[in-house]
Structure 1
Amino acid sequence: MRLAAVGGTAVARAKRRLKMRRRKLVAGCFLDPMRELKKQVRIVGALILRELVTRYGREGLGFLWLVLEPLVFCFGVMGMWTLIKPEYEHGIRLGPFIMTGYMSILVFRHVVGISTGALQANIGLMQHRIVRPLHIYAARTVMEFIGCALAFLVVYVVLLAIEWVEPPQDYLKLYSGYLLMGWVSVGFALTISSLAIRYEVIERVLPVSMYLIIPLSGAFFMMDWIPPGYREILLLNPLPHTIEMVRDGVFGEFVKTHYNPVYPLAFGGVMTFVGLLMLAQARRYVEVE
């Protein structure tokens, strides 16, 4: 009887230990990824602060230039168009029309432009084992996207205050279109930056290419103004889809838009995947001093 009782107690203890191990294992499966995610966020956050101080300094306006720079561009373009264009273009007021187009394409220009050469400019950081090339690109992308988004908000509030624009008709479409623009920009940035690491000519050709992309992006015209045959060709470019979606969110049923949100989502996903594959081999093409 005693042996049976001792045996039963030992089995019960073994079962409890097994349950405890299972619980720890399950908890670890959830906690370890969270710890790793927090670690990656801290690394990117530190790189953002470093980038802000390096680029804008600690004195004067400092990091406010992150928002002021897109503002200057937008108000400059808006002012020039106001002088040479009528107040309304195809029934749409000029100010909001420029705002929705130019502030959207500015995300693409800034994210792609600032990412090219990012790894070469921060090559010294590669000496730290915890820093990866993706951290550097993520820091610059997040910083530029936030700066452009805040600038967009400021321009919108200013136009709202002077009664040039109404509140957005559909906030979900506005936010989704702007985020899709950021998503497509990330895909382009990773792919082009990875190519720039391998081929120096990419950095020389990119500035000219960026200016050529703007007229084809739909920033300064609506897809509905284009004949159907040419419209379908232009919509092979993912950028017009995102800008049309932003305008649909702002103007609503007052304008006719043409876009498919799945197309830029898929396009950005493919570009990001290709860019990450190429970026994984980036260390082979750079010399860490």
Structure 2
Amino acid sequence: MRTPPDLPIHLRPQAEISTTPRAIGALVLREIATTYGRSPGGYLWAVLEPAAGITLLTLVFSIGFRTPPLGTSFALFYAAGILPLMMYTDVSTKLAQTIQFSRALLTYPRITFLDALIARFILSFLTQMMVHIIVLGFILIVLKPKTTLDFSKIGQAYLLTLALAVGIGTLNSFLTLAYPIWHTAWSILNRPLFLVSCVFFIFESVPQPYSDYLWLNPIVHIAGLMRDGFYPFYQPSYVSIVYPLAIAALTTMLGLFLLNRFHRDILDK
């Protein structure tokens, strides 16, 4: 009696590849439970934080100034600057903590560091988009500022924000893993970011040579492009799409290369 032939070897890699979406889905559910399931209110705090910040800035600056630097709505002006910055900060920070957060799960051969990065990105991105829709929807529908939306420019600003956050977060994921002190150092370096990202003012109001230094901040270009999408009369000639995109591409490739090459060696120590 003949024995049945062995299964073709090429079927095995297909089975391994098919488990990757399952791994990402399971990691996303784990992220939801651990990130938002442990605190009272959960997702509510994610919405209240930017809303409270925009409200506070609106109240403070409306007392000292008659009109914002652009348009007539303080809330819309500050939302166009704060929301991209908060999205960049949240996504990049979550990605930077990926390896430490999923350290135990990465010992399983079917879960890779890329699965963990994608899962954290998906959850952070969806959360931030929900927050932006709620906050901007409230401002546009309830406060009714005079504006004409350019969705192409708003979409470009969001894509640049996400690309930059992925690049910086991926690179920091390796640097934090290899050099634990980098997490503290990066937090200190980012503290002035809220003040130098054109949240309170527009780039054109900054005199030289300080404007030349400010131009090097990629968030400034994203904030200018975002406001260009809300204010049709505003034409920020200083905005460069290539500059933040180049930083995003460089940091993403470098971060993925370093993680792929060294993350196992560091985790096994």
Indicate the TM-score class for this superposition, using the shorter chain for normalisation: 0.7 to 0.9
Deviations 1:74-98 (Å, cap 9, x if unpaired)?
A: 4444444445x42412343321111
Describe how 1:101-180 pairs up with structure 2 within 5 A.
101-166=81-146, 168-180=148-160
Instruction: Quote the residue 2:254 is aligned against.
Output: 274
Q: Which entry has the higher C-alpha Rg, 1 or 2?
A: 1
Instruction: Quote the residue 1:253 is aligned against.
Output: 233
Is 2:57 the partner of 1:57? no
Normalising by structure 1, what TM-score?
Answer: 0.78
Instruction: Quote the residue 2:166 is aligned against.
Output: 186
Amino acid at match of 2:155: Y
Q: 1:277 to 1:59 in 2, by over 3 A?
A: closer
CA contact (8 A) 1:222 1:257 kept: no
Moved more, 145-154 or 159-168: 159-168
Residue 216 of structure 1 aligns to a residue whose secondary structure is coil
Q: Give the deviation of 1:69 after TM superposition.
A: 4.3
Amino acid at match of 1:147: T
Deviations 1:210-269 (Å, cap 9, x if unpaired)?
A: 212222222222111122543233222211111111110111224645301121111110
Q: Give the deviation of 1:101 after TM superposition.
A: 0.4
Higher helix residue share: 1
Q: Give the deviation of 1:118 after TM superposition.
A: 2.4
Q: 1:128 to 1:188 in 2, by over 3 A?
A: same
CA contact (8 A) 1:112 1:185 kept: yes
CA distance in 1, matches of 2:251, 2:93: 16
Q: Give the deviation of 1:99 after TM superposition.
A: 0.2
Is 2:177 the partner of 1:201? no
Q: 1:78 to 1:148 in 2, by over 3 A?
A: farther
Is 2:63 the partner of 1:89? no
CA distance in 2, matches of 1:58, 1:90: 40
Instruction: Quote the residue 1:285 is aligned against.
Output: 266
CA contact (8 A) 1:234 1:240 kept: yes
Moved over 3 A (4+): 38-42, 58-83, 254-257
| Structure 1: segments with no counterpart, 5+ residues | 1-27
CA distance in 1, matches of 2:207, 2:258: 38
Identical-residue share of aligned pairs (%): 24
CA distance in 2, matches of 1:110, 1:40: 25
Q: Give the deviation of 1:195 after TM superposition.
A: 0.6
CA contact (8 A) 2:96 2:169 kept: yes
CA distance in 1, matches of 2:124, 2:103: 20
CA contact (8 A) 1:96 1:164 kept: no
Q: Give the deviation of 1:273 after TM superposition.
A: 0.7
CA contact (8 A) 1:197 1:285 kept: yes
CA distance in 1, matches of 2:53, 2:105: 32
CA distance in 2, matches of 1:259, 1:128: 45
Instruction: Quote the residue 1:214 is aligned against.
Output: 194
CA contact (8 A) 1:178 1:243 kept: no
RMSD after superposition: 2.7
CA contact (8 A) 1:101 1:219 kept: yes
Report the count of equivalent residues: 255
